[in-house]
Amino acid sequence: MVGALPGSTAELTIIILPIQILTMLEVNGLTKYYGDLCAVNDVGFRIDEGEFVTLLGPSGCGKTTLLHMIAGLREPTEGEVTLRSENVTNLPPEERNIGMAFQSTALFPHMTVRENIAYGLRMHGYDEEERHARVQEFLELVDLPNHDDHRPGELSGGQQQRVSLARALAYEPDILLLDEPLTGLDRVLREEMRQWLMTLQRELGVTSLYVTHDQEDALSMSDKVVVLDDGEIQQVDHPQAIYEQPVNDFVAEFVGKSMQFSGPIRNDGPRPFVDAGDTCVVLPNDSVSSDREEVSLYVRPEDVNIEAAQATADGGATTVAATEENAFPGTIEKVSNLGNRAEVTATLESGETALASTNRFPHLEVGDEVLVTFDSESVIVL
């Protein structure tokens, strides 16, 4: 006889809990005046746990000031800093659990690497045994396991940056602040460090705010980019949106290169277009709101084609194709071969400058007559 086993009728209950994303850092209305100069004006954004956020902007736009206010190294004129839902605006730096690695790495030159890292741990209350274990662990993490007895002066720039990072990470900060850590490194090392830093950040899952004036850093590393100019936030978005859908002229011009036009929108053709002097640029289908008369247009170099113009029977270059949508005759000004691709500059007959990113080593030379084309859907209208 097959009887029911005790408990076999018990129902399995699965409780699905919503995944709670913790806001690690929030700044609100953060403002800093130095005398009459407003260095940071009413800045607000948030960073979720584990996110890698880049603060991108030109030199002097207020990035370091903003970072220092978050760290507690500078007092805001107005506004609030919240860390793990706690208002820390009035707490001194040592009472905020924040890790910092700055541009001019503030390693103590008279201390060894070990002492430098242990110093940060001591400040955060780790006892000697823990300090010893953690120094070793984090030196291994930054690939410098045998450098504990070196002094900073005996290390390369890149190695010093890694020690500085180990020091900032060893006490497990709520958030890691990095102020232009790759500035001053050469191109190859910079790229290597970028990759290394990203891997490390993802592995540790440490929430990070990375300050840079370098758009490549921002676009290649971040979950989210905060674009700052003149102390004010311009756009907060994913890297792709920052590049493909900039919200204003500053973002469009600061992040990436482009071909530019400006002029009034006209609706008296089969499709809306912009009358940019001697050039008419057909616009994307969904972009035109009739209440905006004067607009700026941007086309990214990856969306621009430059081809040698077809010769006509009488020896001249044809301009027939120029009557097509967004096709303009021009002359090559410059060909920059960059190895894996090339950047080609041409001057249009109407006077504008066209910039195209092409396949490597294109068969084009300065002075060649060309046809510059792009799809109307690739035009960014601002």
Q: Toward Mg ion, which CB reaches closer, 177 or 379?
A: 177
- Pairing label, strands 380-381, 294-299: antiparallel
Q: Which residue stretch of 59-67, 165-173, 217-225, 281-289 sits at the interface with ligand ADP (rule: CB under 6 A)? A: 59-67
Choose among ligand ADP, Mg ion, none what residue 61 binds, the Cβ cut-off being 5 to 8 Å by kind.
ligand ADP
Q: How far apart are CA 311 and CA 127, in angstroms?
A: 80
- DSSP code for 245: S
Residue with tokens 């030196």: 139
The interface mask with ligand ADP, positions 105-124, x = CB under 6 A, is --------------------
| Contact flag: residue 59 with ligand ADP (CB under 6 A) | yes
| Contacts of Mg ion in 52-81 (CB under 5 A) | 63-64
Residue of the chain from 21, 22, 34, 108 that contacts ligand ADP (CB under 6 A): 34
Query: How near is the Cβ of 146 to ligand ADP at its closest, in Å?
Result: 35
Q: Toward ligand ADP, which CB reaches closer, 51 or 229?
A: 229
| C-alpha dist (Å) from residue 245 to 82, 191, 215, 223 | 30, 26, 15, 16
Residue of the chain from 54, 65, 160, 201 that contacts ligand ADP (CB under 6 A): 65
Residue with tokens 């992040």: 255
Q: Among residues 90, 105, 91, which one has the least CA distance to residue 142?
A: 105
State the burial class of residue 150 (Cβ atoms within 10 Å of its Cβ: 0-12, 13-18, 19+).
Answer: middle
| Contacts of ligand ADP in 170-189 (CB under 6 A) | none
Q: Toward ligand ADP, which CB reaches closer, 102 or 374?
A: 102
| Contact flag: residue 61 with ligand ADP (CB under 6 A) | yes
Q: Toward Mg ion, which CB reaches closer, 106 or 338?
A: 106
Q: Toward Mg ion, which CB reaches closer, 254 or 261?
A: 254
Within 10 angstroms of residue 376's Cβ, the number of other Cβ atoms is 17
φ, ψ for residue 358, nearest 5 deg: -120, 175
- Pairing label, strands 98-101, 175-179: parallel
| Contact flag: residue 267 with ligand ADP (CB under 6 A) | no
Give the H/E segment covering residue 78: strand 78-83
Q: Toward ligand ADP, which CB reaches closer, 60 or 351?
A: 60
Query: How near is the Cβ of 37 to ligand ADP at its closest, in Å?
Result: 6
Q: Among residues 354, 301, 360, 351, which one has the least CA distance to residue 371?
A: 354
Q: Toward ligand ADP, which CB reaches closer, 68 or 162?
A: 68
Query: How near is the Cβ of 27 to ligand ADP at its closest, in Å?
Result: 14
Q: Which residue stretch of 53-61, 79-87, 112-120, 369-377 sits at the interface with ligand ADP (rule: CB under 6 A)? A: 53-61
Q: Give the ranges where the chain is alpha helix by DSSP (H).
A: 63-71, 113-123, 128-141, 157-170, 187-204, 215-221, 239-244, 249-254
Residue ranges that bind Mg ion, judged by CB under 5 A: 63-64
Residue ranges that bind ligand ADP, judged by CB under 6 A: 34, 37, 39, 57, 59-65
